[in-house]
Amino acid sequence: MSVAVENNESTDKENAGQKKAAKKVAKKTTTRKKKADGDYSLVIVESPAKAKTIKKYLGKGFQVVASNGHIKDLPKSKLGVDVKGGFEIDLVPITGKKNVLEKITLLAKSATSIFLAPDPDREGEAIAFHLAEEIGTKKKIKRVLFNAITKKSIQAAMEVPTDLDRRKYDSQKTRRILDRLVGYKISPILWDKVQRGLSAGRVQSVALRIIVEREDAISAFVPEQSFSIHAQLEKDGISFDAAYYGDGPNSRKDLRDIKEVEQILKDLEHKPFHVDDVIRKERKQNPTAPFTTSKLQQEAVNKLGMSTKKTMMIAQKLYEGIDVCGDGPQGLITYMRTDSVRTEPEALSGLRDYIKDKYGADYLAVEPIIYKKKGGAKVQDAHEAIRPTNLSYSPERVRPDLSDDEFKLYSLIWNKFIASQMSPAIIDQTTLLFKIGNHYFRSNGSVIKFPGFRTVYLEFFKDKETNNNASEEEGQKEKMGNALPLIQEKEDLEPIKVPWKEEHWSAPPPRFTEASLVKELEEKGIGRPSTYAAIISNIQDRGYVDKQGNRFFPTEVGMIVTKMLVESFPHEMDVEFTAKLEGQLDLIEEGEVKYTKVLKDFWRDFEKTLERAKDEMKNLKAQEIPTGVTCTKCGQHEFMIKWGRNGQFLACSSYPECTGTEDFKKHLDGSIEIIPKEYANDKCPACGSRLVIKKGKYGRFLACEEYPNCKTTLPYTLDITCPECKVGKFAEKTSRYGKSFYGCSNYPNCENAMWTMPVDQPCPACGYPVMGKRQTKRLGNHLQCPKCKHTLQLDEHEEE
């Protein structure tokens, strides 16, 4: 009886399970059928963050998926450009994008319509074309351009989709081909003649040339002496300065002769300063346009201390969407890659209403200010200037939802935009002209009568004549001048101390900062605002420049490579030629020239130059440069500068009899400083000699001290055993994107890795044998467990 009951219960359970499974199958079949019947439209964007924001606005009936940037590119293993066959390119899927492509093509098969919505620029157009190629042309594909990630902008763009822009894609393709031809054809020559791993770039090498030529100008600069004469005056308890102007009221004179200066000082002895003229006038200071990409990068460097790369990364996040104020993802700014200074009429009207309500009618410009872009560049002018998308999301309102850096950059963009339609600042300027015999002195003063737009935004003032940055307050003070008392003509004032002279020496041109380099690139037409951050990052990553403080110093390698490239490729490395080529890319996009003509014209001359360079470029590997420094090993012969696979080093001139080598640093004055060697605990596995810790292009590594007799190199390892395999040790490594990490030396048998430096400290929470050392603004220096994320604060002693 019990067996029968059990059998019945078992049968009932089986039947119930079968019914449940059947329902699942039916549900899946129905879902597939619905999809097959085409019950959704597919929208493809670049980033997951943007996909999330757009999905919220489009709602049901739409599938939104991200391509995660480019899906195809030229192959890394070969040129990929058929220079003899009309410059056809061989595009291949980017490593790691296989799953993304499969997902997109699968969704595209069942979609009723497909909207390609990568970023509205040349790179975005290229991504759209590559996606269309992968999806195929059986479906009707449309292009949509989102200039801002807001509900209104997205819905408006979806209502008026466009076709793919072949001319814009041709322009991007031309740039990519030109960059590939220069990089893949010149770089191997540098490997052969100078050092393995060096690279040349069509734009980056020209940017490097600008930095190197500035360094040459600094080295060649001869300072000139000059003098100034000053007096300190006082009236009504207010003291102020007056400076020598010249020997006439309208003839400014530079003082360079010390004898003349001494004579003027003698003439001034015991004489009053007679007020010859008082000039009062009112000046208006007008606001400036909202940000373009390059101006945003410059101000972010100057005001916030952000690198151009970081600025663009944060701006991208603000554009794509951030969860704010409980309203879900919101795109806070318009598209951040633009050359335009204009604002859409509707946004302009909303801004003027905002200023009037918040600051009052006196602070609103009388008429709408219509800004016009300076210069002749037309690229990307279709997009607005960078501005907030919604004035209800003030920086103060969204502050809790933004990181510190996001808040700072958003506030900068916000304030710049608000100020752009405010009334001018009104400044009362006073100039006092003093006459003492035949000598004239001047004193300038300014008072802000009405602050206008300065209430919201002040431009960054910087001392252009020196290498020192002036703070905004210092710059404003210098521009505004003295606070002057009320003085009338014909008055006589006695100096409160004896007039004095000051000696000055002219300063060399300053080295470039990121901000001034971006400005220089923009003014010379090198690259485009969207590429500035990558250019600056590349020349640093390649070891061509060092950033000391906030200034760029070309390295020895950077200066040598630049000199060789300019000598062998004078046309391609010419600033004007590079700028003209950028103009050709604009003409391709505008349909005024065929991309194949631009490529043919470039290749015709470049091919001939390449052949000459292969024969005529100096072979530094075969050269030895005397240093005058005695070999530290034999103590008899001279060290010579040689080139190896890891760059320059010192080698004894009597090699192979003496194998003495040293790493060195060359100072700006040409002197050689030997860098003391640091040895690892382990011995060379090949010859048993000591291993030297060296620093190369990709960080620290170990090399046998008997190099070049023994060429053994090993990764630099920490004396911490991997807790996963308990065999290998953590080795310093660099990812394909240049980011340092620590991976097990037992790779590929063990794939354990950490992005933070491992510390031999067990986690007090979970007991994991190692923790990672991190530094953040909120917590400072601390340890974090890679497994449970438990943090442990470090005091100063522990940090050391």
Task: State the catalytic residues.
Answer: 335
Cα 293 to Cα 531: distance, rounded to the nearest angstrom: 10
Looking at the DSSP assignment, which residues form a beta bridge with residue 440?
Answer: 246, 435
Cα 268 to Cα 264: distance, rounded to the nearest angstrom: 6
Phi–psi pair at 30, nearest 5 degrees: -65, -45
Token look-up 């809790």 returns 400
Distance set, CA 401 to CA 108, 204, 315 (Å):
35, 37, 15
- Please count the residues of the chain: 800
User: Letter for the amino acid at 348?
Assistant: L
What is the number of alpha carbons within 13 Å of residue 504 lying toward its C-beta? 15
The three-class DSSP label of residue 615 is helix
Question: Which two tokens mark 783?
Answer: 């340890």
The DSSP output letter for 752 is -
The DSSP output letter for 677 is P
Nearest to 301 by CA among 187, 469, 422: 469
Q: What is the DSSP string of 414-453?
A: HHHHHHTTBPPEEEEEEEEEEEETTEEEEEEEEEEEE-GG
Which H or E run includes 718?
strand 717-721
First to last CA, the chain: 79
Nearest to 620 by CA among 687, 556, 560, 549: 560
Phi–psi pair at 507, nearest 5 degrees: -100, 150
Q: What is the DSSP string of 284-305?
A: EE---PPB-HHHHHHHIIIII-
In three state form, how does the secondary structure of 329-363 look?
Answer: EECCEECCCCCCCCCCHHHHHHHHHHHHHHHCHHH
User: Letter for the amino acid at 199?
Assistant: S
Cα 599 to Cα 86: distance, rounded to the nearest angstrom: 9
